[in-house]
Amino acid sequence: MVEGEQVRVPGALHAPRESPQRPGVAVDLGLREDGAELNEPPPHLRRIAPGGHALYTPGEPSDAGPPRGRRAAGYAWRVHVAVLLAAVVAISWAAPLIRLAEAPVLVIAALRVALAAAPMAAAASWRSRDEVRMLVRGATARRDAAFVALAGVALACHFWAWVAAIDRTSIITSVALVALQPLIAALGAWLFLRERPPAATLAGMAIAFGGALLLVADDLGERGTLVGDLLALLAAVLVSGYLVLGRRLRRRLSNLAYGASVYSVAATILLVAIAASGTPLTGHPVDAYLLIAALALGPQLVGHNALNWALRALPAATVAVATLGEPVGAALIAAVLLDELPSASEVAGSLVVLLGVGVALGHRLSPATRPSR
C-alpha cells in the first residue's frame, strides 16, 4: 500500500479530518453504526478505494494487523456484489405485491411502513440509543427534530403517492418514473444545498426527464392513467425530499438511527390519516395482510437493508446504478404473475428514463473502485 491510498472502513459516518500524527493527511475519526469511535479500519472487509466513505493513512500505528491480500479483498467484493444483486431482486417485488394486495391505498402504505418501522425502532433502541438520545436531548435537538419530522412527512406522502400510482397506472411506468428520484434529489441539492451537479449529471437529467415526458404523453388521453403517472412523479419528488433532508442528519446519525426515527414518524402520520379518513384498518382479505407483510419483510427490510449493507464496500454510484434493475425486474414479475405486458411506448419511455439516470450516475464509476482479484 502506498501513501495516499484510501481504505474504505465499513460503517463509518463522518467526513475525514486532518491526522494529528501526519498533518495534512486526511483520516476519518467518525463513528460506526454502534457509536464506537473509529481510528483505523477493522481487520475485516478491507478494500483500497479512492472514493471511500472513510480514510485511513498507511503508516500510522494500528492494532488491526496486516491488511488482507488481494484474494480476500476480491472475495469480499464479490460477496457484496452478490448481496447487491439479491437486494435488487427483492425490491423488484414491491410494485407487484402492492398490485396484488386487495386493500385500500392508505392501509397498504400505513401497514407497510409500520411493519418496517417496528423492528427498526427496536434495533435502534438497543444499538443506537445514544444517537437517539442525542436526537431528542442534544444541543441541536429542536432543529434535528424538525428535520426528522419533515423527512417523515415526505416519506409518508411518498408511500401513499406511490401505492396510489400503482393502483392507477402500469407497473413499469410507475417504477420507471420513481426511478427519477436520484436526479430530482441532485436537483434539490443544487437548489437548496448549493451542490452543483457535474455536466454528466445535467446531461443525464435532460435524457431522463425526456423519457418521463414520453411516458406521461402516452397517457394524455386516459385520465385515470395520467393521474397515476403524475402520482408516480410526485412520489419521486417526495422521496427525493426525504433524501435531501436526511443529508444533514446523516452526518451525525447512523442509517439505523435515522431510518428508525423517520419511519416511526411516517408510520404515525399514515395511521393518523387512516383514523381521520375513516378508512377501515381491519376486515380486508387475509391474503391482503399476508401480501403487505411480505412487502414489508422482503422489499422493505431485506431489500433496502441489503442495499445499505452493500454500500459499506461498494461505491454509492455502483449501488444507485444497480437499482435501475428494479423497473426491469418489476416488469418481468408483472408480466408473469399479473399478465401485464407493457406497450412498446412504455418500454421505450422507461428505457430512456433508465438511460438518463445511468448516464447521470455512471460517470462516477471507475475501474479503480474495483479491487484486484
**Per-block mean pLDDT, blocks of 10 residues, the chain (373 long):** 45 44 40 40 41 37 50 79 90 95 96 94 85 68 84 95 94 90 82 80 87 81 81 92 78 79 94 96 95 94 84 73 86 93 89 88 49 35
- Residues of 280-289 as b/e, b for ≥16 C-beta within 10 angstroms? eeeebeeebb
| DSSP classification of residue 31 | B
* Vertex 84: Cα angle to 212 and 153 (nearest 5): 55
CA–CA separation, 49 and 29 (whole Å): 17
Query: What is the spatial distance between Cα 188 and Cα 39, in angstroms, rounded to a whole number?
Result: 34
How many Cβ atoms are within 10 Å of 251's Cβ, its own excluded? 11
Residue extents of the structural domains in the chain? 1-68, 73-369
Per-residue model confidence (pLDDT) at position 168? 92
Q: What pLDDT is attached to residue 60? A: 41
Instruction: Give 78-101 as a DSSP string.
Output: HHHHHHHHHHHHHHHTHHHHHHH-
SS3 259: helix
Neighbours of 22 (CB within 10 A): 13
Cα dihedral 326, 155, 313, 194 sign: positive
**Residue 12: closest CA among 255, 195, 300:** 255
Question: Are the beta carbons of 183 and 360 closer than 8 angstroms?
Answer: yes
> What number of other Cβ atoms are within 10 A of residue 51's Cβ?
15
Whole-Å CA distances, 191 to 196, 197, 356: 8, 10, 20
**Structure-block grid coordinates of residue 303:** 431489500
Q: Whole-model pTM?
A: 0.72
Question: What does the pLDDT read at residue 299?
Answer: 92
